Structure 1
Amino acid sequence: MMPSTPPPDGELTTIAELLATDDTDAPFVPTRPSRGLRIAGLVTAIVLVLALVASGGYVAWALTAPLPDPTLEWHAPSVETPGPAQIDMPSFGASALSVGGADVYLGESASGIWLTSGAQDAQPMASISKIITALVVLEKYPLADASDPGPTITFSKADHDLYDQYYVRGATIAAMPTGTTMSLHDALATMLIPSASNYAEAIARWAFGSVAGFRSAARAWLDAHGLSGTTVVEPTGLDARNVSTPADLVAVGKLAAADPTISAIAATSSLTLPGPGAMQNTNALLGVEGITGLKTGNLGYGTYAFLFTAGLDVGALHLDVAGAIQGGATRESVNADALRILDSLRRGFHDVRVGDAGQKVGTVTAPWGGSTDVVIADDVDLFTWSDTPITVEVIMADAREFARGDVVGELTWTAGPHEARTNLIVAESLDPPTEWWRLTHPGELLAQ
């Protein structure tokens, strides 16, 4: 009886010696599913072995035959979906919000009126009226761009008298000496930045001959733009009959933001001009949370209003936001409401960690022994909105011999319009089978 321990590599050189070897202690004894299949496989192996013995080529065949596939087991990694976004709309007064640039996340209506709060009926808009005054005047006297001064206005004694008239009414005013001249651009800036009411009426009378003429032009302009919830009876907003709805004001804000002259003036925090002198914008939030404009207004407690625009960069998105708040208690409360709206909108978008480098998702096991983990190749974040569901797709390659770092599949995470991908790789190399395993497992080799 020959010894059962296999001879050292290189000493088994003939098929006779191989057949004389007792393999009862071999390291791997394949398991077969049934007696019939075991017999069939044995017969096939014997036939092949005999054929190879006859030709003297068994060793060469066994050492070069294709190997059986390793077994690849895997699971899709789980992902925790963030909670739903909560946009912090004001609880006092009324408001409306529009968000452009994110329809794929927020819905097609987002760039119209996305969210509202409070009663949506017409309320006093106060000095926000001056934005409409500017739009109506610029429709008649358009400026080419933000640097175009436009036509020159000469202020009369009647214009100068407006200073005193509005002073006694407690309105904001700016100097307007009789006989002085100013470009339309600078007159509009004086009307909008410090909210000078005497300039609003002077510009309206210059453009349309009288306040009544301006009123008719404003009515036609509102009708043309479908702003049925808005009424303008004079150019300053001091009259409480100048009213609008939050949704109409959002539409006005978009029109103003699209006008290069008004948008540039509204974004100017301070300005000094001959005549009116140094001026400070009534909008103290310029530059905060991306706010770019537009106009504040109030007629006292409970009538504070704010028409604002903002540009928010969130991930790869640029959001164009327009919002209107009416009926606020104080300027401070209205400003705080606007900032909360924008902050909560920004926080509604997330970079969600969906995969970590080295995270195990599977195992590769070789028929000849040994195994290694299949892991995620990189840290992966996915940009999402609110509680948008995140799905995972796994594509695995056919299993062969594996070396450390070899790509064996791909993971894809999807949330709304965004997706992120990374490779699945082998954590450690799988050693190839020994020559002894090849020579003593013809059945596994024949299965290929």
Structure 2
Amino acid sequence: MSPSPGRVVGIAVGALAILGIGVYGPAMLLGPLPDVTVDADPAQAAAPASVAVALPADDASAVALLAEDGSAVTVASSADDEAVPIGGAAKLVTVLTVLDALPLASGEDGPAIRIGPEDYTDYLRYSGEGSRALQVSPGDSWTQRDVVRAVLMSSSNNHADTLARWAFGSVDAYVDRANAWLEEQGFTATRVADTTGLSGEDVGTATELTRLAALVLDDPELSAMLDGRSGSSTPTDDRSVPDVIAHLDGDGVRALSRSYTDQAAITFVWTSVIGSGDDEQRMIGAMTGVDDYETLDPAVLAAVEGMAAASAPIEVIEAGAPYGDVHSAWGDHARLVAAAGRTDAAYGAVADDAVIDVDPFTTAPAGRPVGTVTVRIGDREVSSALELDAPIEDPGPIWRLTHPGELIGAFLDDEA
């Protein structure tokens, strides 16, 4: 006997109910949840700009930090950082080129350099012109160390020529070697035409002058001379070499070169220490084309002051600062906050917008790291983990059973 139509319908409905309970329920209750939606908002916690370093608008100037590897890291430079006459700063090239070829050993005075007729004639000529010169006499014997000190600290033009002739045979040979050395060191704008800087063809940029200064400071023998420690094994025999380049030393400034020529006007290269304790750093500055000391002195002191102010760390990322929100399909909400603060001394740089990177997730307790925030400021990046300020919890069985579309979509996304 065939079952009645009503019975067939009843069996079908029962089978579907059993299937729904046996398949649909577990699928909805155990299936994957959809990922939260991330609404990143980097502007919520924009980092402040650090203090800018002010430089003279009319002259070529640059300031830099002396890095641990001895290089100069430019912090600021004037808009017009083109090659100009550099005056007596060319003597830094003279000293560095000679010591590259014939270095001074620690504690040694180096070979004796005998003063000949040409050296004495140079002394008379430079003295007659009113250029800086330190007295020599035919037959004198100067150590290499003392000649270098005379060039560096007395800016002696005749000693610059003497040093170059002793090292390379002639001033012309020195000029060729010096320009080759500059190219080898990666200087693209600095070139010399003599040992002294009296020629208008001795040129460079303020930025490259800070690089030269860094090389001087990185040389232990030269830095000892500038600090008043001759490094000589026989200091009582050192020749009298006056420190004529010293300027603003009472204000914590150590001059490395100070000169005036008709072509270059005043050129001043210096160093100073900013900060204190563990935060102490050495800065380097260079200014060229300055008309007078009434203009130079306040500009140098302002640059030192500006570097000191700019060295104060700024909070680029503040702990707990919000960088966006996350929302779940079932209504939970939490903010993305920085797990830790990050500071940086950016020397006038302005922070870029934060870059937010959040890993996909469905549920997470409060305080769990779910991504990172990264901020570029200047040429550096600082970052912090991002965590939730509230939990994103499982929505529970009722929401799961009543939202099959969301769960099926999450399942298909997982299978894709």
Shorter-chain TM-score tier: 0.5 to 0.7
| SS of aligned partner of 1:390 | coil
* Residues 380/258 of structure 1: CA separation in 2 closer, same or farther (3 Å cut): same
Moved more, 304-313 or 158-167: 158-167
Contact 2:94 2:164 in 1 (8 A): yes
Q: Structure 2, unaligned stretches of length 5 or more?
A: 1-12, 68-72, 184-188, 408-416
Q: Which amino acid aligns with 2:57?
A: S
Per-residue CA shift, 1:251-308, capped at 9, x if unaligned?
Answer: 576467547896742562324642534754724468989x886311125999321235
Rg larger in structure: 1
Task: State the distance in 1 between where 2:177 and 2:218 align.
Answer: 18
TM-score by length of 1: 0.56
* Residues 364/249 of structure 1: CA separation in 2 closer, same or farther (3 Å cut): closer
Displacement of 1:184: 0.4
Contact 2:61 2:207 in 1 (8 A): yes
Q: Which amino acid aligns with 2:54?
A: D
Q: Where do 1:132-143 residues align within 5 Å? A: 132-135=93-96, 137-138=98-99, 142-143=102-103
Q: Which amino acid aligns with 1:410?
A: G
Matched, 1:90 2:56: yes
Displacement of 1:397: 3.4
* Residues 84/120 of structure 1: CA separation in 2 closer, same or farther (3 Å cut): farther
Q: Which amino acid aligns with 2:199?
A: N
TM-score by length of 2: 0.60
Matched, 1:247 2:209: no
Identical-pair percentage: 15
Q: Which amino acid aligns with 1:379?
A: A
Task: State the distance in 2 between where 1:426 and 1:344 align.
Answer: 39
Displacement of 1:326: 2.7
2:176 to 215, 220, 223: 220
Number of aligned residue pairs: give it.
364
Task: State the distance in 1 between where 2:270 and 2:145 align.
Answer: 21
Per-residue CA shift, 1:327-377, capped at 9, x if unaligned?
Answer: 4311x643543455566678499755345416484366695xx95634415
1:405 to 367, 371, 377: 367
Q: Where do 1:253-402 residues align within 5 Å? A: 254=211, 257-258=214-215, 264-265=221-222, 268-271=226-229, 273=235, 274-277=237-240, 279-280=242-243, 282-284=245-247, 294-298=256-260, 303-308=265-270, 323-330=286-293, 333-338=295-300, 340=302, 347=310, 351=314, 353-357=316-320, 359=322, 361-362=324-325, 371=332, 373-381=334-342, 386-387=349-350, 389-400=352-363, 402=364
Task: State the distance in 2 between where 1:364 and 1:118 align.
Answer: 51
* Residues 249/445 of structure 1: CA separation in 2 closer, same or farther (3 Å cut): closer
* Residues 283/244 of structure 1: CA separation in 2 closer, same or farther (3 Å cut): farther
* Residues 327/414 of structure 1: CA separation in 2 closer, same or farther (3 Å cut): closer
Displacement of 1:90: 2.4
Contact 1:263 1:293 in 2 (8 A): no
Per-residue CA shift, 1:99-125, capped at 9, x if unaligned?
Answer: 6999xxxxxxx98x97553885547x1
Displacement of 1:200: 4.0
Displacement of 1:152: 1.2
* Residues 414/358 of structure 1: CA separation in 2 closer, same or farther (3 Å cut): closer
Q: Which amino acid aligns with 1:393?
A: I
Q: Which amino acid aligns with 1:399?
A: T
Task: State the distance in 1 between where 2:399 and 2:92 align.
Answer: 88
- Greater relative contact order: 1 or 2 (C-alpha under 8 angstroms, separation 6 or more)? 2
Task: State the distance in 2 between where 1:296 and 1:164 align.
Answer: 22
Equivalent in the alignment of 2:154: 194
Per-residue CA shift, 1:197-225, capped at 9, x if unaligned?
Answer: 5644554565678xxx43x3344346645
RMSD between aligned residues: 5.8
Task: State the distance in 2 between where 1:186 and 1:195 align.
Answer: 12
Per-residue CA shift, 1:361-414, capped at 9, x if unaligned?
Answer: 4366695xx9563441513437567345324324253323x544344x313334
Task: State the distance in 1 between where 2:323 and 2:57 align.
Answer: 48
Equivalent in the alignment of 2:3: none
Q: Which amino acid aligns with 1:298?
A: Y
Contact 2:193 2:202 in 1 (8 A): no
Equivalent in the alignment of 2:30: 66
Task: State the distance in 2 between where 1:391 and 1:441 align.
Answer: 36
Displacement of 1:134: 3.0
Matched, 1:153 2:113: yes
Equivalent in the alignment of 1:443: 401
Contact 2:317 2:338 in 1 (8 A): no
Q: Structure 1, unaligned stretches of length 5 or more?
A: 1-45, 56-60, 103-109
| SS of aligned partner of 1:411 | strand
Displacement of 1:97: 4.3
